[in-house]
Structure 1
Amino acid sequence: MLKLRIYILVFLLIFGLLPLSLAVLINLPLVLDRTALFYQRAYLQNLRADFRDLDQHLASRHELIRFLAKLPEPGLLLGAHGDLEQIDIARARYTTWINQILSDQRDVIQILFTDAQGQARFWLVRDARTQEWRPLPQPVQLSNHHFIEATIRAQAGGVMVSPIRLDPRRGRDDPRQFMTLDLASPLGSERNHSKTGAVVLTIDVGGLAQSYPHTLWVNQEGRYLRPGEPVEAQPNAFRVFPGLESIFAEGKLALWKGEGGRQMLWVPMFMTEDGSPLWVGRIVDPSPLDAFRNELMLRVLSIIALLFMAVMVLARWIAARVEQFGHELLGGVRRILSEGQPLQFSWSGPRELQELGEQLTTLAATHAEHLQAVRAHTHELEQSNRYKSQFLANVSHELRTPLNSILLLSKMLSAEGSGLSPAQRRQAQVIHEAGRDLCDMIDNILDISRIEAGQLALNIEPVELCPLLEDLIELFSPQLADKPVELILRLDPNLPDLIETDRDKLRQILKNFLSNAIKFTERGEVRLEASLFPGMPKPLVLSVIDTGIGIPRDKQEIIFEAFRQADGSTRRRYGGTGLGLAISRELANLLGGVIEVESTPGTGSCFALWLPLVPSASASALPSTAMPPGNDQAPEPLDSDGTCLPLALASERDAPWALVIERDVKTLVTLTSALSQAGMGVQTAADFDEASETLREEGQGCALVLAAAQLLPEQPAAAIQHLPLVLLVEAEDNRQISVMGMWVLSKPIDPIALELLLGQVWQRLGNRRKSIPERGTDES
Structure 2
Amino acid sequence: MSPSRAPGVKLRAYILLFLLIFGLMPLILAALINLPLVLDRTALFYQRAYLQNLRADFRDLDQHLASRHEMIRFLAKLPEPGLILGVRGDSDQIDLARARYTAWINQILADQRDVIQILFVDAEAQERFWLVRDARTQEWHPTAQPPQIPNRQFLAAGLESPPGAVMVSRIRVDAQAGVDDPRQLMTLNLVSQIGNDGADPEPGVVVLTIDVGGLAQTYRDTLWVNHDGSYLRPGQPASGQPEAFETFPGLAAIFAEGKLALWKGGQGRQMLWLPMFLTEDGFPLWVGRVVDPSPLDAFRNELIVRVLTIIAVLVLVVMVLARWIAARVEHFGHELLGGIRRILHDGQPLRFSWAGPRELRELGEQLTALAETQAEHLRAARAHTRELEQSNRYKSQFLANVSHELRTPLNSILLLSKMLGAESSGLNPAQRRQAQVINEAGRDLRAMIDNILDISRIEAGRLGLSLDSVELRPMLEDLIELFSPQLVDKPVELSLRLELGTPEQLQTDRDKLRQILKNFLANAIKFTERGEVRLEVGTRTESDRPLVLSVIDTGIGIARDKQEIIFEAFQQADGSTRRRYGGTGLGLAISRELATLLGGVIEVESTPGVGSRFSLLLPLSPEGAALERAPEPMSTRASEPLDDVDEAPSSLDVTAESASDPGAPWVLVIERDVKTLVRLTSDLSRRCLRVQTAADLDEALETLREEGEGCALLLLAAQVSTEMTCDTIRTLLAETQEPHPAVAILGSADMDPGLQTCLGVGAVALLAKPVDPDALTALLVQVMGRAVSETPDRTGEAPGQTSASRHATERT
Q: TM-score scaled to structure 2, two decimals? A: 0.51
Q: Given that residues 152 and 195 in structure 1 are in contact (C-alpha distance below 8 angstroms), is that contact kept between their aligned partners in structure 2?
A: no
Instruction: Kindly state the Cα deviation for residue 521 of structure 1 after the two structures are TM-superposed.
Output: 9.9
Preserved CA contact (<8 Å) 1:156 1:193: no
Which residue number in structure 2 is paired with residue 75 of structure 1? 82
Report the equivalent of 2:640. 772
- Please state if 1:202 is matched with 2:204: no
Q: Which amino acid aligns with 1:522?
A: I
Q: Aligned partners of 2:257, 2:412: CA distance in 1, in Å?
A: 108
Distance 2:16 2:57 in 1: 58
Query: Which amino acid in 1 is paired with 2:105?
Result: I
SS in structure 2 opposite 1:60? helix
List aligned pairs for 1:18-97, cutoff 5 A.
18-97=25-104
Match for 2:439 among 504, 523, 533?
523
* 1:164 maps to 2:168: no
SS of corresponding position for 1:598: helix
Residue in 2 that maps onto 1:302? 309
Check the 8 A contact 1:9/1:315 in 2, yes or no: yes
Matches within 5 A, 1:624-663: 627=459, 650=509
Task: Decide whether the 8 Å contact of 1:638 with 1:771 is kept in 2.
Answer: no
Moved more, 116-125 or 227-236: 227-236
> Does the C-alpha gap of structure 1 residues 330 and 198 become closer, same or farther in structure 2, counting only changes over 3 Å?
same
Is the 2:264–2:271 Cα contact (8 Å) retained in structure 1? yes
> Of 451, 454, 466, which aligns to 1:598?
454
**Is this contact kept in 1: 2:454–2:635, CA < 8 A?**
no
The alpha-carbon distance between structure 1 residues 485 and 35, as it changes in their structure 2 partners (threshold 3 A), is farther
How far apart are 1:58 and its partner, in Å? 0.3
Give the CA deviation at 1:310. 2.0
The change in CA–CA distance for 1:481 and 1:239 in structure 2 (over 3 A counts) is: closer
Compute the displacement of 1:303 (Å). Answer: 1.9
Write the letter of the residue equivalent to 1:772.
E
Counterpart CA distance in 1 for 2:108 and 2:16 is 85
Deviation of 1:251 after TM superposition, in Å, equals 1.4
Please tell me whether the aligned partners of residues 217 and 279 of structure 1 are also in contact (alpha carbons under 8 angstroms).
yes
Contact 2:467 2:629 in 1 (8 A): no
Q: Counterpart amino acid of 1:79? A: G
Equivalent of 1:548, from 434, 439, 445?
A: 445
Query: 1:264·1:283 contact (CA, 8 Å) conserved in 2?
Result: yes
Which residue matches 1:251? Answer: 258
Unaligned runs of 5+ in 2: 1-6, 422-435, 479-506, 514-588, 595-627, 644-805, 808-812
Match of 2:158 among 142, 146, 151: 151
Alpha-carbon distance between aligned partners in 2 of 1:133 and 1:249, rounded to the nearest angstrom: 42
Instruction: Specify the alignment match of 2:124 in structure 1.
Output: 117
Taking the aligned partners of 2:260 and 2:44, their CA distance within structure 1 comes to 12
Once the two structures are superposed, what CA deviation does each residue of 1:44-95 show, in whole Å capped at 9, x if it has no partner? 1111111111110000000111111112222232233233333333222222
Aligned-residue offset at 1:22: 2.5
- Between the aligned partners of 1:79 and 1:478, the Cα distance in structure 2 is 148
Is the aligned partner of 1:130 residue 2:137?
yes
Per-residue deviation, residues 750-773 of structure 1 (Å, max 9, x unmatched):
xxxxxxxxxx99668895646724
For residues 702-746 of structure 1, the C-alpha deviation after alignment (integer angstroms, 9 at most, x for no partner) is xxxxxxxxxxxxxxxxx9xx989xxxxxxxxxxxxxxxxxxxxxx
Alignment pair present for 1:14 and 2:21: yes
Q: CA RMSD in A?
A: 4.8
Contact 2:130 2:147 (8 Å CA) reproduced = no
Structure 1 CA distance for aligned equivalents of residues 418 and 175 of structure 2: 124
Structure 2 equivalent of residue 354 of structure 1: 361
What corresponds to 1:344 in structure 2? Answer: 351
* Residue identity matched to 1:186: Q
Aligned-pair distance for 1:205? 0.8
Distance 2:239 2:96 in 1: 46
Q: Is the counterpart of residue 268 in structure 1 residue 275 in structure 2?
A: yes
AA paired with 2:370?
L
2:108 is equivalent to residue 101 of structure 1: yes
Native 8 Å contact 1:77 1:87 kept in 2: yes
- Post-superposition offset of 1:356: 1.4
Structure 1 alignment gaps of length 5 or more = 386-443, 452-468, 488-519, 527-545, 557-596, 600-606, 609-625, 643-647, 655-718, 725-759
C-alpha contact (below 8 Å) 1:176/1:204 kept by paired residues:
yes
Q: Does structure 1 retain, via aligned residues, the 8 Å contact 2:133–2:140?
A: yes
Distance in 2, matches of 1:206 and 1:195, equals 33
What does residue 244 of structure 2 align with? 237
Q: In the TM superposition, what is the alpha-carbon distance from 1:286 to its structure 2 partner?
A: 1.4
1:632-658 Cα shifts (integer Å, max 9, x gaps): 98997799999xxxxx9949x99xxxx
Residue 329 of structure 2 is matched in structure 1 by 322
Shift in alpha-carbon separation, 1:483–1:111, aligned structure 2, 3 A: closer
In the other structure, the counterpart of 2:230 is 223
1:289, distance to aligned residue in structure 2 (A): 1.6
CA contact (8 A) 2:82 2:88 kept: yes
**2-side partners of 1:180 and 1:474: how far apart?**
122
Distance 2:508 2:269 in 1: 70
Counterparts of 2:267 and 2:342 in 1: how far apart (Å)?
71
Instruction: Render the CA deviation track for 1:540-564: whole Å, top value 9, x for unaligned.
Output: xxxxxx65353389x83xxxxxxxx
Conserved in 1, the CA contact under 8 Å of 2:121 and 2:205? yes
Bigger drift between 161-170 and 180-189 goes to 161-170
Displacement of 1:215 after TM fit? 1.2
Partner of 2:753: none
Structure-2 separation of matches of 1:550 and 1:770: 4
- Quick one: which amino acid aligns to residue 86 of structure 2? G
Equivalent in 283, 293, 296 of residue 289 of structure 1: 296
The answer to whether the 8 A contact 2:188-2:209 is kept is yes
Q: Cα distance 1:356–1:56, how it changes in 2: closer, same or farther (>3 A)?
A: same
> Which residue identity does 2:161 align to in structure 1?
A
CA deviations on 1:416-468 (whole Å, 9 max, x unpaired) are: xxxxxxxxxxxxxxxxxxxxxxxxxxxx99x99xx9xxxxxxxxxxxxxxxxx
> Deviation of residue 364 (structure 1)?
2.8
Query: Could you report, residue by residue, the CA deviation over 1:126-158 in whole angstroms, capped at 9, with x for unpaired residues?
Result: 121111222223333222333222212101000
Alignment of 1:428-443 (within 5 A): none
Supply the distance in 1 between the matched residues of 2:200 and 2:98 (Cα, whole angstroms). 25
**Residue 191 of structure 2: aligned partner:** 184
Q: Size of the alignment, in residue pairs? A: 475
CA contact (8 A) 1:637 1:769 kept: no
**Deviation at residue 231 of structure 1 after TM alignment:** 2.6
Q: 1:112–1:199: 8 Å Cα contact kept in structure 2?
A: yes
Write the distance in 2 (CA, Å) between the matches of 1:73 and 1:164.
31
Deviations 1:78-137 (A, max 9, x none): 233233333333222222222221111110111122222222222222121111222223
- In the TM superposition, what whole-angstrom CA distance separates every residue of 1:241-264 from its partner, at most 9, and x where no partner exists? 111111111211111112222111
SS in structure 2 at match of 1:200: strand
Identity percentage of aligned residues: 61
CA distance in 2, matches of 1:224, 1:80: 44
Kindly state the Cα deviation for residue 353 of structure 1 after the two structures are TM-superposed: 2.5
Residue 277 of structure 1: aligned partner: 284
Q: Which amino acid aligns with 1:355?
A: E
User: Within 5 Å, which residues of 2 pair with 1:415-430?
Assistant: none
Say which is worse superposed, 132-141 or 206-215, in terms of deviation. 132-141
Any idea what SS the aligned residue of 1:304 has? helix
AA of the residue aligned to 2:129: F
Question: Which amino acid in structure 2 is aligned with residue 523 of structure 1?
Answer: N
CA distance 1:133–1:772, shift in 2 (3 Å): same
Equivalent residues of 2:186, 2:213 under 8 A apart: yes
Summarize the Cα distance change of 1:764–1:362 in structure 2 as closer, same or farther, 3 Å threshold: farther
- 8 Å CA contact 1:598, 1:635 repeated in 2: no
Q: Normalising by structure 1, what TM-score?
A: 0.53
1:390 maps to what in 2?
none
Q: Is the 8 A contact 1:36 1:289 kept in 2?
A: yes
How far apart are 1:34 and its partner, in Å?
2.0
